[in-house]
Amino acid sequence: MPPLYKMPELFLKRVAGIRCVFSIGLLLSTSLNALAAPPPGHPTPDAALQIMRSGTDPAQARRHYGVVLDSIDANEFTYIEVDEGGTSFWIATTKMKIARGDLVQFDDGVTMQDFYSKLLKRTFSSVMFVGAVSTSIAGK
């Protein structure tokens, strides 16, 4: 068989085939990345961890105690409405199982004002992103 450069039609067919395979691979990899991304309006897991870790010095962090009024799961996060001494506010943490009436405790975190969640289609007047929430069932 003669070299490809002496057979331009065959050369062009092979180059076109390689381009097609490359294009399909590129398309698949970009679409898979888009599927793995968090919904718009939510920080990526890495960004959320940075937000949760960038709070005050743990030795100086204020400890919060409250009762769960409501909770919403959204991908990797759980949004929790907490009543602390008659004042209610929202916190967000990594996804966890929690129920209305549970007693919770957590340290200060980073508060974001007017936080809009496109996934939930709502604006929270403020959300405190916290690193960890510990729970106990009310009455126990």
**What is the predicted pLDDT for the residue at 100?**
96
**What is the predicted pLDDT for the residue at 75?**
84
Q: What is the model's pTM?
A: 0.58
**What is the predicted pLDDT for the residue at 41?**
63
Start-to-end C-alpha separation, the chain: 84
Given a contact cutoff of 8 angstroms between Cβ atoms, the answer to whether 106 and 91 are in contact is yes
pLDDT along the chain (140 residues), means of 10: 59 59 56 56 66 56 90 92 96 94 93 90 93 76
Q: Measured between alpha carbons, how far is 121 from 72 in angstroms, rounded to an integer?
A: 12
**What is the predicted pLDDT for the residue at 11?**
56
